[in-house]
Amino acid sequence: MRVPVYGTVDIGDASKGLCGAMAFTVRDFFEAHLPTPATTTPPLAGSPLFSYITGRLFDSFDIPDGIIEHMDWMSTPDSDVRVWLAVRRGIAWLTISISGQRSRPASTAGTRVR
């Protein structure tokens, strides 16, 4: 995938985790008042649950804006930095003020729990 300013980003291998997808999926189940699956093993590739989770992974990326924002956040200081009258907000402020608002259920993200 081509991301403006940054270049090319490879997408496809989720073997290192589905963190954003799992957070979105759990919230979706909670908001829909559905019980979470009772299994302790990962869903099989191609199963409805696997397809749903991987779909939510792409939702969590918020392509292309989310990728660009991620790159920006990686270069952001841990805490606020003051230079004269200007303040550059740190990761703590960004996480609390911005990121928390984005963890929304699938019903508001255009995806349905099946």
Q: Is residue 38 part of a domain?
A: yes
- φ, ψ of residue 88 to 5 degrees: the values are -100, 120
Of the candidates 1, 7, 106, the one whose C-alpha atom is nearest the C-alpha of residue 57 is 106
Q: Is 5 domain-assigned?
A: no
The number of folded domains in the chain is 1
Model confidence at 78, pLDDT cuts 50, 70, 90, reads confident
Q: Do the domain assignments include residue 79?
A: yes
More confident of the two residues 99 and 36: 36
In the chain, DSSP finds a helix count (H) and a strand count (E) of: 6, 4
At 30-57, the pLDDT tens digits run: 989 999 888 888 888 889 998 898 888 8
What was the pLDDT predicted at 37? 86
pLDDT, mean of residues 101-111: 53
Q: Please report whether residue 71 resides in a domain.
A: yes
Residue 53 domain boundaries: 16-108
Q: 9 lies in a domain?
A: no
- pTM of structure: 0.54
